[in-house]
Amino acid sequence: MNKNQAFPWDHPRFRSWIGVARACQLMQQAMTRAIADLDIKTPHLDILINLYRFEGISQQELARKLLVGRSNMSMLLPQLEKRGLIERKPDAKDKRVLRLFLTQSGRSLTAEAMAIQTGMIERIMSQTPADRCLQVAEAMEDIIHILQTMEPDEG
């Protein structure tokens, strides 16, 4: 390679992309360790938190929010249901649609997990000023929007 030719990793956008990917992976690993005593994994936590926020959401809406396929959802939901953390109930108007609800023990476990997650976020982000956190959030939201509007073959 030519001495004056830049490598991809020398480009600020590449460095940013790699930084986001690495931070995401490390956050996932840290969260997995932090909630291990609750006997749930991060995909379970994502489901539980969404049900906490959006009680009665349909399985399809939940899969869309979590950016996962219905097959993945149909693997995870029975695990949570078997543990008595969630309930699936038919929609009042359309019996083909299943609505998801936390049970009382699911609500308690989710509250405990959210406290762990919030504490971790506070420890990690406490040294970063709030305005910088908002800048990062806005940049990530821009990236999310671009990725969600890309055609599948554009990747």
Instruction: Give the pLDDT mean for 2-11.
Output: 73
User: What pLDDT was estimated at residue 86?
Assistant: 98
The answer to whether the CB of 87 falls within 8 A of the CB of 105 is no
pLDDT class for 3, splitting at 50, 70, 90? low
Q: Is the pLDDT of residue 68 over 70?
A: yes
Four-CA torsion 84, 24, 118, 107, nearest 10 degrees: -10
Strand partners, 113: none
Report which DSSP code applies to 127.
T
How far apart are alpha carbons 96 and 99 in whole angstroms?
A: 10
